Homo-oligomer: A and B are copies of this chain.
Amino acid sequence: MPVAYTPAEIAAIVGAQRTLGHTEAKVGDIASLAAAQPGDLSFLGNAKYRSQVPASRASVLLLPPDYPGEPGPDQVFLFVDHPSVALARLCSRIEQQLWPKPPPGIHPSAVVAATARIDPTASVGPLCVVEDAATIGPGTVLDASVCVGRGARLGEGCWVMPGCLVGSYCELGRRVRLQPGVIIGSDGFGYEFVQGRHEKVPQIGIVVIGDDVEIGANSTLDRARFSRTVVGEGTKIDNLVQVAHNVVIGRHCILCAQVGISGSTTVEDYVILGGQTGVGGHITIGKGSKAGGQTGISADVPPGSYLNGTPAIPYMLERRLQILHQRLPDLFKRVEALERRAE
């Protein structure tokens, strides 16, 4: 962490009620109670780690008001109502320092079409390309080497990180955050098999991303065959996720890394899919459903389901079947014994 704070600065940022102890150290990193070294800040976010506080080597500790112990030499206790909330406040401050918002305007090395509409408060980074009639909203930031296709529309307050593509005619809402290398609007994967060859089906739809969506590094979202591929407001997508054409993802979903969703499937609001889960095409995953890692879903899922396994079945049943599966050697022996007896 290339920034450092005195304990007094941290006390001010987190609004500490009370301070105990003294250190000359400036805090340059954050670590768990057990891992912290001198020069680090740590925190008691969960009461079950309370016994780790006395042995922690952290220079500064965020603690709840009722914590009874005493700091070591060269150590400072800062008492706050909610250490986790206090830490988040500190981290936000650090984040702003580490990633200061670039000044508005278009970097001279960017290639921006004359017909593009860039809000004067937006920032277009070095070596970006913005094509004809694209729109970049107020306060939106394009980091280095971002491509925005013809007619694409980015709303207010978006942050598009290096190497992303927002394909032609695709739309981002407000405060959308694209991690590096995201591809929005690659062609859907559609072919017709004609006389021994796969003939391409034109993919002329778009991708529409709702407000407050975040998408992880190198994930890919295909444009619709026609109409829209949709990601609903507040949904968060991790790295290396594949979203096929005409998929409709609801609001406030969580898609963990390397999930793949096949074409024309609907994922309703508040769904959570574990890492490497695969979802077949033309199905619906009901509201609030969850799937564990590596689940394979190929049929409709009712709302509120909790699934695991391939094919996906209820999580508790899957766990029970796994246990029975591992007892198969015993079962075979028992059946053999019964057969011997029956002879």
Interface contact B321-A238, CB-CB below 8 Å:
no
Q: How far is the CB of A338 from the nearest CB of chain B, in Å?
A: 5
Q: Establish whether residues A204 and B94, one from each chain, have CB atoms under 8 Å apart when the complex forms.
A: yes
Cα distance A244–B278 when bound, in Å?
19
**Which residues 184-198 of A sit at the B interface, judged by CB distance below 8 A?**
186-187, 189, 191, 196-198
Binds B, one of A4-12, A47-55, A323-331: A323-331
Which of A14-22, A61-69, A70-78, A218-226 is found at the contact surface with chain B? A218-226
| Interface mask (A163-198 → B, CB under 8 Å = 1, otherwise 0) | 101011100000001011101001101010000111
Query: How far is the CB of A142 from the nearest CB of chain B, in Å?
Result: 12
Beyond A163-B165, A186-B180, whether A242 also contacts B242 by CB under 8 A is no
A217–B179 CB distance below 8 A: no
Given known contacts A202-B94, A226-B91, is B196 in contact with A167 (CB within 8 Å)? no
Given A181-B183, A254-B198, answer yes or no on A260-B242 (Cβ-Cβ < 8 Å): no
Choose among B186, B227, B329, B342 the residue that contacts A320 (Cβ–Cβ < 8 A). B329
Question: For residue A131, which residues in chain B have a CB less than 8 angstroms away from its CB?
Answer: 144
CA distance A148 to B198 in the complex (A): 27
State the interface size on chain A (CB cutoff 8 A): 105
Alpha-carbon distance A95/B204, docked complex (angstroms): 6
In angstroms, Cα B99 to Cα A197, docked, is: 24
Q: How far is the CA of A280 from the CA of B311 in the complex (A)?
A: 20
- Bound Cα distance from A167 to B31, whole angstroms: 21
Q: Is A161 an interface residue (CB 8 A)?
A: yes
Number of copies: 3
Q: In whole angstroms, how far apart are the Cα atoms of A145 and B151 in the complex?
A: 18
**Cβ–Cβ < 8 Å partners of A111 in chain B:** 107, 109, 126-127, 144
User: Which of A114-122, A290-298, A299-307 participates in binding chain B?
Assistant: A290-298
Over the window 244-265 of chain A, the binary record of Cβ atoms lying under 8 Å from chain B Cβ atoms (1 yes, 0 no) is: 1000000010101110101000
A216: B residues at CB distance < 8 A: 186-187, 189, 220
B321–A326 touching, CB < 8 Å: yes
B338–A326 touching, CB < 8 Å: no
Counting chain B CB atoms within 10 Å of each CB, the highest count among A129, A206, A342 belongs to A129
Residue of B nearest to A240 (CB): B242
10 A-B residue pairs with CB within 8 Å? A91-B226, A129-B162, A131-B144, A191-B254, A242-B275, A244-B257, A258-B260, A293-B298, A317-B326, A331-B331
Q: Which 8 residue pairs across A and B have the least CB separation, nearest first? A: A186-B217, A30-B226, A91-B202, A217-B220, A129-B144, A111-B126, A324-B328, A220-B239
Partner-B contacts on A (CB < 8 A): 1-2, 29-31, 35, 88, 91-92, 94-95, 98-99, 107, 109, 111, 125-127, 129, 131, 143-145, 147, 149-151, 161-163, 165, 167-169, 177, 179-181, 183, 186-187, 189, 191, 196-198, 200-202, 204-206, 212, 214, 216-218, 220, 222, 226-227, 234, 236, 238-240, 242, 244, 252, 254, 256-258, 260, 262, 275-276, 278, 280, 293-294, 296, 298, 310-311, 313, 317, 320-322, 324-329, 331-332, 334-335, 338-339, 341-342
